[in-house]
Chains A and B, each alone.
Chain A
Amino acid sequence: AQKVTQAQTEISVVEKEDVTLDCVYETRDTTYYLFWYKQPPSGELVFLIRRNSFDEQNEISGRYSWNFQKSTSSFNFTITASQVVDSAVYFCALSEAGRDDKIIFGKGTRLHILP
């Protein structure tokens, strides 16, 4: 069965600190996709990144970076030099091949960036 675990329910850091959001997934498939979405206080869901199971290269986009490690079934998300605008709930998600594009979401990590 597919499952996504975000063990950190809530994190608070002071602005400009780096912060890592953890994501551990379970799947029996060898082909799958992992995602991160951001939900700011305004409520919308914003797509951040997609990573397929065959590509373990780390990704960097500005202050955001993602570390995908199949050996530990983890897809962690790091924000460098955090800003107040990064305050949001962040969701990690998994989609398996042949599952009708169904996405399973983790329970989310609420991130507070304190000024």
Chain B
Amino acid sequence: DTAVSQTPKYLVTQMGNDKSIKCEQNLGHDTMYWYKQDSKKFLKIMFSYNNKELIINETVPNRFSPKSPDKAHLNLHINSLELGDSAVYFCASSQPGQFGQPQHFGDGTRLSIL
């Protein structure tokens, strides 16, 4: 059973388009995250949600908008895509309130902007 699943796995689109990436976790965790991994493999947190409430927003452009319909889902919508948005986006989840719990990651979504 997949613990954290992201769709799609690959996303190729043109500059200026709007796209969404979906994430679902079946671990019963309360907190979910989005990370961006650039071409140099640098992993940086973008957002975190705890039980549908935004907790972390790391100076990400307004074009990126996370949406959490329930605590098992955290989707990422990106407007007006730019070349610099090309990256691998990872969703993750963990159980808060138990500080230091490892985050469980999805397999990533590779976004390529043409």
Residues of A within 8 A of B (CB): 31-33, 35, 37, 39, 43-45, 47, 50, 52, 89, 91, 95, 97, 100-105, 107-108, 110
Contacts and interface: CB of A to CB of B under 8 A. Distances in A.
B60 to A, nearest CB: 14
A37 B68 CA distance: 26
A95 B103 CA distance: 11
Interface of B: 31, 40-45, 48, 50, 55-56, 88, 90, 92, 94, 96, 99-108, 110
B41 A107 contact: yes
Contact of B107 (A32, A44, A105): A44
Contacts of A43: 88, 107-108, 110
Nearest to A46: B105
B48 A95 contact: no
A106 to B, nearest CB: 9
Contacts of A52: 100
Given A47-B104, A103-B45, A105-B43, 10 more contacts: A31-B99, A33-B99, A35-B102, A45-B105, A52-B100, A97-B99, A102-B48, A103-B103, A105-B42, A107-B40
